[in-house]
């Protein structure tokens, strides 16, 4: 019994000691735990803020890197575009030189001229008609009235000065005499028949010398004060490819009541008889010479690969297109403001055929390049 009592006492003391020791340690441990918890929170917060800062810095770094990549890409693009433009300009000269054989040059109608200085002025387009030179128009009548014994020529025949055109028997002397041609020319009218009575009151023939003709241009009141003798004109027969140049010789001062116009006259040489009276024409009359500058023929200027060009000769005997800038133009000439020098040999005839050859070659390589 005493042994049990002693065990119980010992057990009680041991338990109390344990409880007392736990109570003594509880307060310090609680404080330390709380402080440790707060410290842990501060550390965690600091770490979180540091992580957030690092993430923000990372994003800024990433954005800066991306921005840098965009700038580099833009620079690369600009450089690439510049390279492409440079390559295109180089290829324009490199891809387009043309060489032709002597036969090819002949077939293309190639004509070489030199760039010169000239004037491009204002002009007026006037309608007109080819007429007889009235100073070379002869009405042939008999010297004495009588009966026509012979009428040897018809309308359209050509006679030479001294040819016998008709034979007339005089009523006074009852003898026959000859009517001869006073000039060489074409019979444009005939008013004689064998056996009929003829007299000096009527012409038997009208004879025209067509070695020269008149170009009669109609000038309407609004342009009347602009047209003066001495002005140069480019004449084109309507409906044909017949062209020539002339100078205004005379301007009438009286207004025609039927046409309400005055007439500007050009005396035109016609040794070949190509300019037939009655033919309608247009004449481009230069009324202002304009300022002087470099000029080429209009047909020399072509559009190749979207560029305005003129073909010039190169050192190997071929042709190549040179980009040019153009200014004013008239019926035959166009001003060159840049791209060519005075005296340069250029293709004034056959330029379109050279362009066609380039377009054909380009379409064969990659369609559309020659447009």
Task: For 86-130, write each residue's pLDDT tens digit.
Answer: 444 444 554 556 878 778 788 888 999 999 999 888 889 999 999
Q: For domain 96-115+292-365, which architecture applies?
A: Beta Barrel (2.40)
User: Measured between alpha carbons, how far is 145 from 168 in angstroms, rounded to an integer?
Assistant: 8
Question: Which long-range contacts (C-beta less than 8 Å, at least 24 apart) are formed by 307-314?
Answer: 307/92, 310/336, 310/339, 310/340, 310/346, 310/347, 310/351, 311/98, 311/346, 311/347, 311/351, 311/354, 312/340, 312/344, 312/345, 312/346, 312/347, 313/112, 313/345, 313/346, 313/347, 314/97
Do residues 131 and 281 touch, judged by C-beta distance below 8 A? no
Is the model more confident about 67 or about 21?
Answer: 21
- Strand 280-286 with 232-237, pairing: antiparallel
252 membership: H or E segment, kind and range: none
User: Measured between alpha carbons, how far is 371 from 356 in angstroms, rounded to an integer?
Assistant: 10
Q: What is the largest CA-CA distance in the chain?
A: 212
**Structure tokens that stand for 285 in this block:** 């009359």
User: Measured between alpha carbons, how far is 174 from 176 in angstroms, rounded to an integer?
Assistant: 7
Instruction: Assign 99 to helix, strand or coil.
Output: coil
167 membership: H or E segment, kind and range: strand 164-170
Contact partners, residue 206, CB within 8 Å, separation at least 6: 137, 138, 139, 140, 187, 188, 189, 190
User: Measured between alpha carbons, how far is 323 from 309 in angstroms, rounded to an integer?
Assistant: 4
Taking residues 346-364, report their average pLDDT: 82
Q: Using one digit for the tens of pLDDT, what is the confidence trace for 304-340?
A: 888 999 999 876 668 889 999 999 888 788 999 999 9
Do residues 295 and 333 touch, judged by C-beta distance below 8 A? yes
- Strand 325-329 with 333-338, pairing: antiparallel
Contact partners, residue 364, CB within 8 Å, separation at least 6: none
pLDDT at position 17 is 57
- Whether the pLDDT of residue 224 is over 90: the answer is yes
pLDDT at position 27 is 43
Is the model more confident about 58 or about 234?
Answer: 234
How is the chain split into domains, by residue range? Answer: 1-92, 96-115+292-365, 123-132+212-286, 134-208
Which fold does the domain 134-208 belong to in CATH? OB fold (Dihydrolipoamide Acetyltransferase, E2P) (2.40.50)
- Whether the pLDDT of residue 10 is over 80: the answer is no
Residue 210, Cβ neighbours under 10 Å: how many? 22
Residue 58, Cβ neighbours under 10 Å: how many? 10
pLDDT at position 364 is 52
Residue 188, Cβ neighbours under 10 Å: how many? 15
Q: Specify the CATH number of the domain 123-132+212-286.
A: 2.40.30.170
Q: How many residues does the chain have?
A: 371
pLDDT band at 369 (very low <50, low <70, confident <90, very high): very low
pLDDT at position 236 is 95
């Amino acid at each position: 019994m005493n042994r049990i009592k002693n065990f119980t006492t010992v057990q009680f003391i041991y338990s109390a000691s344990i409880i007392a020791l736990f109570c003594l340690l509880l307060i310090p441990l609680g404080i330390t735990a709380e402080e440790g918890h707060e410290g842990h929170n501060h550390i965690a917060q600091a770490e979180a803020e540091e992580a957030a800062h690092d993430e923000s810095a990372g994003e800024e770094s990433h954005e800066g890197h991306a921005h840098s990549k965009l700038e580099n890409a833009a620079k690369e693009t600009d450089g690439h575009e510049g390279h492409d433009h440079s390559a295109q300009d180089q290829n324009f000269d490199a891809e387009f030189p043309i060489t032709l054989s002597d036969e090819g040059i002949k077939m293309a109608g190639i004509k070489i001229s030199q760039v010169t200085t000239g004037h491009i002025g204002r002009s007026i387009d006037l309608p007109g008609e080819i007429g007889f030179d009235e100073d070379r128009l002869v009405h042939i009548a008999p010297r004495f009235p009588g009966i026509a014994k012979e009428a040897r020529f018809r309308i359209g025949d050509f006679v030479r000065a001294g040819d016998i055109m008709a034979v007339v028997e005089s009523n006074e002397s009852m003898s026959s005499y000859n009517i001869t041609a006073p000039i060489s020319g074409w019979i444009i009218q005939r008013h004689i028949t064998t056996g009929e009575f003829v007299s000096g009151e009527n012409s038997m023939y009208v004879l025209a010398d067509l070695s020269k003709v008149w170009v009669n241009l109609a000038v309407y009141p609004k342009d009347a004060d602009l047209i003066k003798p001495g002005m140069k004109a480019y004449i084109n027969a309507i409906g044909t490819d017949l062209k020539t140049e002339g100078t205004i010789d005379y301007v009438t001062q009286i207004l025609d009541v039927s046409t309400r116009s005055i007439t500007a006259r050009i005396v035109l040489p016609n040794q070949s008889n190509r300019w037939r009276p009655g033919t309608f024409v247009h004449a481009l009359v230069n009324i202002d010479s304009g300022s002087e500058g470099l000029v080429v023929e209009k047909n020399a200027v072509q559009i190749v690969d979207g560029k305005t060009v003129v073909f010039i000769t190169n050192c190997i005997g071929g042709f190549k297109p040179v980009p040019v800038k153009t200014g004013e133009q008239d019926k035959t000439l166009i001003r060159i403001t840049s791209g060519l020098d005075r005296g340069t040999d250029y293709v004034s005839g056959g330029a379109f055929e050279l362009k066609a050859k380039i377009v054909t070659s380009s379409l064969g390589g990659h369609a559309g390049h020659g447009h």
